[in-house]
Structure 1
Amino acid sequence: MTVLQSIPADPPAAPAAQTATVHTAADHGLSPAARAALEAGVPASTRRAYAADWRSFTAWCSQAGRMALPATSQTVTEYAAHLMSAPSTRTGRPLSPSSIERALTAIRSMHKAAGLTAPETSGARKVLAGRREQLALAHDPAAKVRKATPVLPTEIRAMLATVDRTTLAGMRDAVLVLLGYATAARSSELAALNLGDVAETPDGLVVSVYRRKIKRHTETAVPYGSNPATCPVRAARALLAALADLGRTRGPLLVRIDRHGRVAPPLTRRGKTIGDPDGRMTPEAIADVVARLAAAAGLPGDWSGHSLRRGFATAARRQGHALERIGRHGGWADGSRALLGYLEDADAWTDNPVVGL
């Protein structure tokens, strides 16, 4: 059959040019299931932050006699100016520029979610630029973006030296640090690991990590370490064996452990179970462990769960590994600005343009 023969004798007529497209209410609506699926595409921490920012904005609008939805560009500009001086309920200080930036993003996101045109924020961002310059000229620490201190091999050895690895809590903390570092996992990704996600092979471990930013799993290879004390494979093997002795062969890898050295029972509030019933640690609890171990080792800095991920990128770059290999191993999106920032920190000394001048 030729191309001409495949064309119907009477092709369907094109719609008349003058016919207007009319949408009904159903075309603009979303079912509860679709809304839930849409929300699932946004990290829970981001949703919580945006919701808190939106509550603050609507409360301010109510007091100021302004409309929050839809908001005008003047209202958003006025709100940005207000945040520059209003003390935060949490810290007692005005919000940092990055927090104000997030509040502006939350306002625009809520308008879009409501099917409304987001307000213009150019005026608010000029206010924000002026705020950044004021803080910088005043040498205020808030002018700088807060960064987690990177955990490097020296710090890992110091942190692990404070851990009693004969206890279940000590074995868990060692895996938390070593596996979190070797996989470059975010705290949320580390918390989500199950026992079945860690498989031992002759060459080391293969860890299946769900990378939340790129929305897919990576099978991350973790080789044996040359030093048994800092080997993630040996640490994971010890923890898996200890949990198996307790009959735990399924469920979360990193679990809450009480002061008696036992896997903590489910948390309850007013008779209702809260949190993960299997005792899974939260990302916040993982960050607390990193900060606690750093403090116990006497390490100065701003320590959090992100210190492990940032430290991996910094150390890998200093060892001469290529950007692509570092990014793929740690689940960074191609062209990630965050990763490029970490590598610039690492290159500040190893590829310093002043050297040789």
Structure 2
Amino acid sequence: MPQIIDETSEFDVPDSSTPPHGTAVSAAKLSTGLPSPTPESNATLPAHLQDLTERARGYVAAASSANTRRAYAGDWKHFAAWCRRQNLSPLPPDPEIVGLYITACASGTASGSAAGITRRGGKPDSVSTIERRLAAIGWNCAQRGSPLDRKDRAIATVMAGIRNRHAAPPRQKEAIMPEDLIAMLETLERGTLRGMRDRAMLLIGFAGGLRRSEITGLDLGRNQSEDGRGWIEITDKGVLVTLRGKTGWREVEIGRGSSDATCPLLALDTWIRFARLAKGPLFRRVTGRGKDVGPDRLNDQEVARLVKKAVLAAGVRSDLPEAERGQLFAGHSLRAGLASSAEVDERHVQKQLGHASAEMTRRYQRRRDRFRVNLTKAAGL
């Protein structure tokens, strides 16, 4: 195995259909979904231990979000497929092989390149994608009992070089401002269950500064579902939202709007009343040609789809081509919109968004504070 830090020679792979490096492992097994550190059900275990095993497996699944699990499973499958094409085995993990893999990702040759053949013209992965793939490889290896040392120089030095050469400013989603939101609300179907639900989702998401998973993860009350991320309490003054985040629980206060047309509380109450909701998920699928409300919780992707659809229908940023407008806005645009438009003390916005630092909040206030202070004039020019 060549030293990829000290040498620049190509990595020659022996002609063999069996992975020559490490223990050969079934490719089908390696490319399946996320592993579980809990043992598979064993018929020899007492019944009460089998029940505990299933419960432990459920806790393992709850340790990360569904989006993270999907991304990690896809990244591991991508890495395992690359290793298979190079006649290598992903396990046990070799830092030099991982270093070569992230190099291939950065150069756009990680997909579809066979052993001894380098396919050019592929799209290079972004730095953030490579970092996520690296995290996924480390997690999967650890769960399979073969920890990967990501601080090894064969990985860390290559990754540092990738960051220095390819890192770009983060692409932030465009903030939806109040006038944009009002125009978007006007495009929704009036007098329909779907329109009532979508209006409530947009107003609650904006006024609460909520993430899309937080919007769809709400229940009507406490401890009403296993997959819920929080619940609502409606009071005379507004809506109190209790959310479970990465660092614990937090409360978000959503007050009444200045008019009925833009009041989150009124929109929420209308949706709950006409949908006849009493318990369980707050935002659900509308079925039966828009006449019935199903029991299933909405997927958080529906928030992004709703925002994009309403943005295009309302003509927000009509100066841009439709395809570009669709890329600029997403579910996070609601959260950014509150931070960019609320003319209040910064600490109130920070608390509403649940940020640990004021610096993170300032990143969201991208339009409100832009050119507010003119240092050119302040310097006397």
Task: Report the TM-score, using the length of structure 1 for normalisation.
Answer: 0.74
Once residues 344 and 292 of structure 1 are traced to their aligned partners in structure 2, the CA distance between those partners, rounded to angstroms, is 23
* Secondary structure of 2:187 counterpart: coil
Compared CA separation, residues 70 and 337, structure 1 to 2 (3 A): farther
Amino acid at match of 1:262: K
Summarize deviations over 1:21-50 as a string: whole Å, max 9, x none: xxxxxxxx8563445424422122112111
- The residue that corresponds to 1:313 in the other structure is 339
> What is the aligned partner in structure 1 of residue 3 from structure 2?
none
One-letter amino acid matched to 2:216: A
Question: Would you say the 8 A contact 2:104–2:110 is kept in 1?
Answer: no
Deviations, residues 254-285 of structure 1 (Å, cap 9, x unaligned): 122247222355xxxxxxxxxxxx13211011
Q: Offset at 1:126?
A: 4.6
- Distance in 1, matches of 2:198 and 2:56, equals 39
Question: Is residue 317 of structure 2 the alignment partner of residue 293 of structure 1?
Answer: no
Residues 88 and 95, structure 1, Cα contact 8 Å, conserved in 2: no
Matches for 1:1-357 after TM superposition, within 5 Å: 32=53, 33-84=55-106, 85-86=108-109, 93-120=123-150, 122-124=153-155, 126-128=157-159, 130-131=161-162, 143-196=168-221, 197-208=231-242, 210-216=243-249, 218-244=250-276, 248-258=277-287, 260-263=289-292, 265=294, 278-300=295-317, 301=325, 302-316=328-342, 319-323=343-347, 325-332=348-355, 334-335=356-357, 338-343=360-365, 346-351=368-373, 353-354=375-376, 356-357=378-379
Letter in 2 for 1:58: A
Change (3 A) 1:330 1:296: same
The alpha-carbon distance between structure 1 residues 343 and 69, as it changes in their structure 2 partners (threshold 3 A), is: farther
**1:26-80 superposed Cα distances (whole Å, 9 cap, x missing partner):** xxx8563445424422122112111111111112112213331232221111001
Deviation at 1:346, TM superposition (A): 4.3
Q: Which moved more, 1:105-114 or 1:292-301?
A: 105-114
Shift of 1:174: 0.8
Q: Counterpart of 2:141 in 1: which secondary structure?
A: helix
Letter in 2 for 1:61: C
Identity of aligned residues (%): 32
SS state of the match for residue 149, structure 1?
A: coil
The residue type equivalent to 1:200 in the other structure is I
Cα distance in 1 for partners of 2:353, 2:374 equals 25
- Give the drift of 1:207: 2.4
Letter in 2 for 1:37: Y
Q: What's the secondary structure of 1:311's corresponding residue?
A: helix
Quick one: distance in 1 between partners of 2:288 and 2:165? 48
User: Which one is further off, 160-169 or 51-60?
Assistant: 160-169
Specify the code of the residue in structure 2 equivalent to 1:283.
D
Q: What one-letter code is carried by the residue in structure 2 that aligns with 1:150?
A: A
Give the TM-score normalised by the residue count of structure 2. Answer: 0.70
Q: Shift of residue 175 of structure 1?
A: 0.5
Q: Distance in 2 between matches of 1:354 and 1:149?
A: 27
**CA deviation profile, 1:177-232 (whole Å, cap 9, x unmatched):** 00011111111111111233333322122223x2332242x332211111321111
Query: How far apart in 2 are the matches of 1:126 and 1:354?
Result: 40
Between stretches 143-152 and 181-190, larger displacement belongs to 143-152
Q: Partner amino acid for 1:233?
A: L
SS across alignment from 1:222: strand
The residue that corresponds to 2:19 in the other structure is none
Give the total of aligned pairs: 300
Measured at CA, do residues 340 and 104 of structure 1 come closer, stay the same or move farther in structure 2, by a change above 3 Å?
Answer: farther
- The Cα offsets for residues 297-339 of structure 1, whole Å up to 9 and x where unpaired, read as 12244111111112222223xx13223x22322233x237643
Give me the whole-angstrom Cα distance separating, in 2, the residues matched to 1:178 and 1:354.
Answer: 39
Give the match's secondary structure for 2:233: strand
Contact 1:88 1:94 (C-alpha < 8 Å) held by counterparts: no
Cα 1:306–1:83, aligned 2, differ >3 Å: closer, same or farther?
Answer: same
Aligned partners of 2:374 and 2:312: how far apart in 1?
31
Aligned to 1:5: none
Q: Distance in 1 between matches of 2:274 and 2:363?
A: 39
Output the amino acid matched with 1:81: T
Q: Distance in 2 between matches of 1:340 and 1:124?
A: 33
> Compared with structure 1, are the counterparts of its residues 186 and 258 closer, same or farther at alpha carbon in structure 2 (3 Å cutoff)?
same
Deviation at 1:293, TM superposition (A): 0.4
State the distance in 2 between where 1:315 and 1:47 align: 34
Consecutive unaligned residues of structure 2, counting only runs of 5 or more, are 1-36, 40-52, 113-121, 222-230, 318-324
SS at the partner of 1:347? coil
